[in-house]
Structure formats: structure tokens, C-alpha cells
Chains A and B, each alone.
Chain A
């Protein structure tokens, strides 16, 4: 996979949509992502009091269907870099909105969950940058991908169980993500391969 594909963090659902629906679509990866994200962006900007959990879940469904269909393309192009940050922004935003809609008291758990997701996403970047290796597929699949996470979160929100669900996810995924990452770095330190350091001139480290 190319780094940009790894950054997308697609789960099995998006991969399947890409192979089936996506293969039949003419539209490129970036337009599909932007189009799919549009309803959710509107939902995120919508006042909390005027938004229902059902409407938010519908926007999530559109995102998963349309942006998920662009999975697996690895289209090169001037704008290819746009997709991963858009997926991250709408994914993190959707979690915040869903928790706010269902039970705002769970916001600390939402923060912890976002911190865990952030670790998962930074980890992929740093491993590609320094080890020149992407995290193994099982880690991505265990995390469900942005698509899987959002579908499960929407279902839990509709069932009124998003807060406890986030706690369970933290307890189950947290140790798995961290342990797998640490093991990969220890293996890398012991290995013959040299570290690569690209983008030394990058501004904000």
C-alpha cells in the first residue's frame, strides 16, 4: 500500500465497498470523499438542539457508503493528499457529535477514545517514516477502520449505549495498539535495517 492509502485507515467494510460499489463508479477518490463527507460536515455544523441522533447516523451512513467506495484506489494526483485529513476530521468530529447528542457526560471517555485513535494514526505515520514499514493488516482490521468504527458507533448511539461502548473499545483496543507498536519498535531496534529520516526540514515536529 502507498503511504496515503495507509493514512486513510480503511476497514474491511470500506475495502469491500471499494471493490464492489467503487469499481462501478467513475468519480475519483477525492471528489467521492468530499461528496461523501458533505452531509456529515453539515450535521457537525448543525446546532445540537436541532439535530437528532438518527440524522447524524444517516450522515455517517452516507459518508461510509460514498467515501468508502473510494477505498483501494491509490490514485496518484495533485490532490491525493486531501483524502486522509478529511477522513480524520470528519471521523473525530462525528464521535464528538454523537457523544454530545446521546449523553454529554461521556465526553471524558470520548476524549480518551480520540487520544487512542490519535495514537493509532500517528503510529502508522511514524512507522512508515522511520521503519519504512506499515503496521500489519490485523491492527487496521482490529481497529475496524474509520468506516467500521463509525458504523458501530452510530448503531450504539441509536441504541443509547455509545458511552459504555467507547469504554469497552478503550479497554480492548488500547493495550492492543500500544503493545503491538512497542513490539514493532523493539523488533526494529534489534533488526539490521537502518532508520530513514525523511523530511528533516519539516516545520512542526
Chain B
């Protein structure tokens, strides 16, 4: 449990000025854990023993939650396991009540009850999860996630997880034992954080979901689950047939009730045991369909497993022990989808500066301010108007950009996200860049006798308009997503599904690719045939989406867009080697091309929609 403690990081964070305040904000958090899933042997998976640590999976998890500021816990379990779970709960570092529930309907009613009593944010989670503390901290301690889930795109980590679909940071659809999904993008890893303001919605949704799985609804519930089992069995048969013949069988060839070999049959049975009582997945559907903004915290490379037998637990522990949690945390502090230059030429070393800054107790805002100051220094150097000045300015600009990456990495590494930070970061980024343009223009007039102010004006106009394209397009998509109709909780199938257009972002395009089928995924509906302009645009969008799939074309696409890292590198190189005039011409030519490319792509997406 003390994996993070000997990395030295938490002590460093505690020295940070914001740390105490953040801890106080977490004092009221409570958690509801489901210990309702049977392991392969039929016992509670949550009580598999970690012999080396002298505890169980549940015990370890309770310790992690206590460490993350969860002050009160409710554990929902089945009657047969109640005594064993009570014994484990008695040793928990925080008060832990055990609630006995007979089935998933009871679980949901218990959840509604707890949601009604909780006064601050509530964590709803599974108790059979062996994971890094930092994986949970990413959800629990990140103030950017108000109501959200722990999610992954990894089919291996999400082996027993229900799938979800997210766009632009918001969950649009989720699946559960009862609800199915089309075109999923992520796996829901069983942990859900519900903000205080959404507790009433959670309570109401849980009550309604309980009715779906109970009384007269029970037969329908079992029917939906049985339909899922049919999907899994047919998929198993398809995979086995493909392995045998080397050919992917047509969907029409698959028998409705295909014969499976014993190993596959056992696998399907295991999947059913592991996923049938997933009340958490039901709640996620409930929140999404009630219109709650559910965001995601991503697992990244942290460890997460749901061991289903002592053997699997031993394997999981071995894998967990081999991972350096602090190194994974530092890697996770690097932004996921960043530009090429930033990813390969800055982040590999700037993350160590971020760790150094964390150990010193610096706040991200201090680093942001230092970056701005270095940027002002670069401006002054450029304004001198000599070769030495241009070279010095180029070097200082790169230093400023490095610190600019450090502030975000430091914020993610120490989870210090201040309200002022995001704004300061954005406004200083723009400020630095546009100051540097002015510095270059002054230097050009003073030292090189060339008036480039018109070019500087064109450059600032182009860059601002380019940003405005990004902002407006995003705002338009947010509006469209927010206007989507809400589906009723009692509706199991997501019939009309999402539009057949491509994924919203690169990350989603990658996420949607080549994963194992999740437990509740329906077969893809045939894409509607489109003619004329829309057909051409749809083909174009498909082409662009395909570019995302290969790293070489994906990076080429990002470099073409001239993101901030590439822009600053372009300024530094052209200014140091040539004259400010060359810098502005390069910025305008490349930026102009990037503008055409991004506007063209978005127009195509809009036409195809």
C-alpha cells in the first residue's frame, strides 16, 4: 500500500502551498464499494488474499481510499459473504459499514439510499480491483473531474469492463448488463466519482434502475443479459472459425446458437459471472441518460486488474511489482496528444524538470510566470537587431517553451490544478508568442534595416484566426453534443446510434481501433449509403481518419497543423540562421497552409455530418 510513499513524491507535494487546502476539500468524500462479484471458485473476488501484504484485495483498496481522503465507506455484498466482508471491514482505516444485498436490484437500491445520505462527493467503485494508488488518485484527486469515471482504451485492462462512448471529453453513451452500445470508444473500469451537485440525480437514477432489474422488470433484464451472452458466444465462434480456416466468417454464416469448444464455453461463463452484477455500469448509464456531464480520467499506463483466481492474483501482483509507479506517474504527466516537436524534443527532458520542481515545492503558476519572464527576455534579445541577439533570442524562446511544457507537467504530476493556472497558462502562451513577433519586427527595423511590421501584423492576424477556427469548431461540436436527445433508462438498445461520421478527435480515432469486443457491444449497423457531395465528404473524412491509424501519417498530419512546439521551433531556427523577415514569411506560408488544411478538413466533416 505504500508504493507511493517511498517514491518521495507525496512528501514533496505536501510542502507545496496548495497541498493543505486541497486535502481539506477532500475531507467529506465517501465511497460505496460493491463486493458482489464471484471469483472463478465462486467466492467473493474482493476477498482474494495478498499473502505478502497480509491483506485482501478489498483491504488494500480500503487503505488506498483512506490515503486519498475517503473518510467513510459502505460495502455492498451478498448474504453468503457478509460475515467475511464484515471481518475485513472491521480492520479498515476508516469507518466501513457493510450492506447486505441479494441481487443487483438490491445493490442499486442501496446505492440510492447512500446517495441520499452522502453530503459530499461520492465514489462508487468495485472492491475486486488491484490497481496503482495513482490510478485511483487520477479520478479521486483531480479537481478537473467533477463527475466522472476511470476509463481506458486498453482491451487488456478492460477485459471485464462495460464499454462507453465519449466525445470531446464528455460521455455520450454507456453500456451495462441491461443497456447496449454502438461504436464504443472506451472501457469503464468500475470507479465513478459523483459530485455533490449530481447526488440527487444519482439517487433518482439508481432507484429507477433498481426497478428495471426487479419484480416485473426482472424477466426483461434477464432477457437482455441472455442476448448479450448470445453475442459473446457468436463472437467466440467467429474467432475460433477464423483461427481454424484463416478466413473471417461473414456475419450471416454464424449460427444463432453456435457450438463452442469447452474452453470457449468456460470463457463465456466466466465473462457472465464477472459482468452480470455490474451495478456501477448501470449507474453510469443512468447518469449519462439523465443528462449529467460525465467526464473521464484515463488509466494511461497505470496498473489495473480484476484477478479472478489466486493464480491470476499472483500474476497481477508480479506485474504490479515490476512497474515503477513514480515513473508511470511522470510519464502520465506528459500530455497524451501533443505535437511532434513537443513529444520528441521537449517532453522527454522537461518531465524531469517538472519532477525537480515538484520536489522543490514549486507551484505550476510560478513556473508559468518564469516562462513568461524568459519569453520577455527572448523578445528583448530579438529586438536588439544583431545576429548575436537573434541567436540569444532563439535560445531563450526555446527555454521559455520548455518551461511552458513544465508547468502543465508539474500540474498533472502533483495534481495542482488552480483556477488561475489554466488561464495564466493560456494567456501567457499567447502573450509570449505575440511579444516575440513584436521583438522580431523591432529588431528587423533596427538591425537589418527592413520594415517587417506588415508581416508581423499578418502573422498575428493569421494565428488568431487559426485559433478562432479551433475554438469555434469545438464550440459548435459542444453545442451539437449538448443538444442530443436523452434516451430513456428503460430502453436497452441504442437504436439509432451515433452518426456514422468519424471520431471527433485523434485520440478517439485511435481508441476506437482494433479493441476486443466488450461485453455489451452490438454488431455494427451497416453504414447508410450517401450520394453526391455528402458521399465525397464522407469518403474524405474516412481517408483522414485512416491517416490517424499509422504513426508516420499521424505525426505528419500533426506537424502540418503547425502546433505551438513546431511554431516556436520554426521561429527559433529561422531567426537564428536567417533574418526576422524569413521568420515571418515562414510563419505565414506554413501557417497559411495549415489553416487551409484544417478548415478544409472541418468543412468536409461538417458536410458529411
Enumerate chain A interface residues (CB-CB to B < 8 A). 2-4, 7, 76, 78-85, 88-89, 92-93, 95-96, 99-100, 104, 107-108, 110-112, 114-115, 117-119, 121-123, 125-126, 128, 130, 185, 188-189, 194-205
Q: Which 8 A-B pairs have the closest CB atoms?
A: A92-B461, A107-B453, A81-B476, A81-B472, A3-B475, A89-B465, A85-B468, A204-B563
Per-residue CB proximity of B138-181 to A under 8 Å, as 1/0?
00000110100000000000000000000011100000000000
Contact B465 A4 (CB under 8 A): no
Assess whether B82 is interfacial by the CB under 8 Å rule: no
Task: Write the nearest CB–CB distance from A63 to chain B, whole angstroms.
Answer: 15
Known contacts A81-B602, A123-B427; decide if A92 and B336 are in contact (CB<8 Å): no
Contact B453 A111 (CB under 8 A): yes
User: Which of A78, A130, A197 contacts B609 (CB under 8 A)?
Assistant: A78
Per-residue CB proximity of B336-357 to A under 8 Å, as 1/0?
1111000000000000000000
Inter-chain contacts of B437 with A (CB < 8 A): 111
Known contacts A108-B441, A110-B457; decide if A198 and B476 are in contact (CB<8 Å): no
> B13-21, B200-208, B222-230, B417-425: which lies at the A interface?
B417-425
Assess whether B240 is interfacial by the CB under 8 Å rule: no
Contact A3 B558 (CB under 8 A): no
Within 8 A of A (CB), among B460-500: 460-461, 464-480, 483
Task: Write the nearest CB–CB distance from A98 to chain B, whole angstroms.
Answer: 11
Inter-chain contacts of B607 with A (CB < 8 A): 78
Task: Give B469's nearest chain A residue, CB to CB.
Answer: A85
Known contacts A118-B464, A194-B146, A197-B422; decide if A203 and B474 are in contact (CB<8 Å): no
Of the listed residues A88, A93, A128, the one surrounded by the most CB atoms of chain B closer than 10 A to its CB is: A88
Cα separation A20 to B317 with both chains bound (whole Å): 71
Inter-chain contacts of B417 with A (CB < 8 A): 195, 197
Assess whether B456 is interfacial by the CB under 8 Å rule: yes
Task: Write the nearest CB–CB distance from B254 to chain A, whole angstroms.
Answer: 36
User: Which of B146, B426, B461, B564 contacts A122 (CB under 8 A)?
Assistant: B426
Cα separation A2 to B453 with both chains bound (whole Å): 35
Task: Write the nearest CB–CB distance from A115 to chain B, whole angstroms.
Answer: 5
User: Which of A7, A100, A111 contacts B468 (CB under 8 A)?
Assistant: A7
Inter-chain contacts of B457 with A (CB < 8 A): 92, 95-96, 99, 107, 110-111, 114
Known contacts A3-B479, A4-B476, A115-B434; decide if A205 and B454 are in contact (CB<8 Å): no
Task: Give B197's nearest chain A residue, CB to CB.
Answer: A194
Cα separation A181 to B465 with both chains bound (whole Å): 21
Per-residue CB proximity of B565-606 to A under 8 Å, as 1/0?
000000000000000000000000000000000010011001
Contact A111 B460 (CB under 8 A): yes
With A7-B471, A197-B144 given, name 13 new contacts (CB 8 A). Answer: A2-B479, A3-B478, A3-B479, A7-B475, A88-B464, A93-B461, A107-B456, A115-B460, A122-B467, A130-B423, A185-B420, A194-B143, A199-B169
Chain A interface main SS type:
helix
Contact B470 A204 (CB under 8 A): yes
Chain B interface main SS type:
helix
Assess whether B507 is interfacial by the CB under 8 Å rule: yes
Contact B453 A79 (CB under 8 A): no
Per-residue CB proximity of B402-440 to A under 8 Å, as 1/0?
000000100000000111101101110110001001100
Task: Write the nearest CB–CB distance from A41 to chain B, whole angstroms.
Answer: 13
25 contacts between A and B (CB under 8 A): A7-B472, A78-B609, A79-B603, A82-B472, A83-B472, A85-B468, A89-B468, A99-B457, A100-B454, A107-B453, A111-B456, A111-B457, A119-B427, A122-B427, A122-B467, A130-B419, A195-B417, A198-B168, A198-B169, A201-B169, A202-B474, A203-B337, A203-B339, A205-B335, A205-B425
Contact B339 A204 (CB under 8 A): yes
Contact B460 A189 (CB under 8 A): no
Within 8 A of A (CB), among B198-255: none
Task: Write the nearest CB–CB distance from B569 to chain A, whole angstroms.
Answer: 14
Cα separation A115 to B144 with both chains bound (whole Å): 30
Cα separation A61 to B603 with both chains bound (whole Å): 28
Task: Give A188's nearest chain B residue, CB to CB.
Answer: B419
Of the listed residues A119, A130, A188, A201, the one surrounded by the most CB atoms of chain B closer than 10 A to its CB is: A201
Contact B505 A201 (CB under 8 A): yes
Inter-chain contacts of A114 with B (CB < 8 A): 457, 460-461, 464
Enumerate chain B interface residues (CB-CB to A < 8 A). 143-144, 146, 168-170, 335-339, 408, 417-420, 422-423, 425-427, 429-430, 434, 437-438, 441, 451, 453-454, 456-458, 460-461, 464-480, 483, 505-507, 558, 561, 563-564, 599, 602-603, 606-607, 609
Cα separation A201 to B298 with both chains bound (whole Å): 12
User: Which of B423, B458, B472 contacts A4 (CB under 8 A)?
Assistant: B472
Inter-chain contacts of A81 with B (CB < 8 A): 469, 472-473, 475-477, 602, 606
Cα separation A78 to B501 with both chains bound (whole Å): 13
Task: Write the nearest CB–CB distance from A197 to chain B, whole angstroms.
Answer: 4
Inter-chain contacts of B471 with A (CB < 8 A): 7, 84, 125
Inter-chain contacts of A200 with B (CB < 8 A): 144, 169
Inter-chain contacts of B506 with A (CB < 8 A): 201, 203
Contact B168 A85 (CB under 8 A): no
Contact B438 A205 (CB under 8 A): no
User: Which of B338, B460, B472 contacts A84 (CB under 8 A)?
Assistant: B472
Known contacts A100-B454, A130-B422, A194-B143; decide if A88 and B606 are in contact (CB<8 Å): no
Task: Write the nearest CB–CB distance from B450 to chain A, whole angstroms.
Answer: 13
User: Which of A108, A117, A197, A203 contacts B561 (CB under 8 A)?
Assistant: A203
Inter-chain contacts of A82 with B (CB < 8 A): 472, 603
User: Which of B454, B564, B602 contacts A204 (CB under 8 A)?
Assistant: B564
Cα separation A121 to B470 with both chains bound (whole Å): 13
Cα separation A185 to B602 with both chains bound (whole Å): 32
Known contacts A92-B461, A195-B419; decide if A205 and B476 are in contact (CB<8 Å): no
Cα separation A123 to B408 with both chains bound (whole Å): 20
Cα separation A84 to B470 with both chains bound (whole Å): 11
Inter-chain contacts of B339 with A (CB < 8 A): 203-204
Contact B434 A96 (CB under 8 A): no
Task: Give B562's nearest chain A residue, CB to CB.
Answer: A204
Inter-chain contacts of A108 with B (CB < 8 A): 441, 453
Cα separation A111 to B437 with both chains bound (whole Å): 9
Task: Give B142's nearest chain A residue, CB to CB.
Answer: A197
Task: Give B431's nearest chain A residue, CB to CB.
Answer: A119
Cα separation A131 to B502 with both chains bound (whole Å): 30
Cα separation A96 to B465 with both chains bound (whole Å): 14
Inter-chain contacts of B451 with A (CB < 8 A): 104, 107
Cα separation A82 to B599 with both chains bound (whole Å): 9
Cα separation A203 to B298 with both chains bound (whole Å): 17
Task: Give A124's nearest chain B residue, CB to CB.
Answer: B471
Task: Give A2's nearest chain B residue, CB to CB.
Answer: B479
Task: Write the nearest CB–CB distance from B53 to chain A, whole angstroms.
Answer: 34
Known contacts A199-B168, A199-B169; decide if A110 and B476 are in contact (CB<8 Å): no
Task: Write the nearest CB–CB distance from A21 to chain B, whole angstroms.
Answer: 24
Cα separation A173 to B466 with both chains bound (whole Å): 24
Inter-chain contacts of B473 with A (CB < 8 A): 81
Cα separation A185 to B437 with both chains bound (whole Å): 27
Inter-chain contacts of B453 with A (CB < 8 A): 107-108, 110-111
Inter-chain contacts of B479 with A (CB < 8 A): 2-4, 76, 80
Cα separation A128 to B169 with both chains bound (whole Å): 16
Inter-chain contacts of A83 with B (CB < 8 A): 472
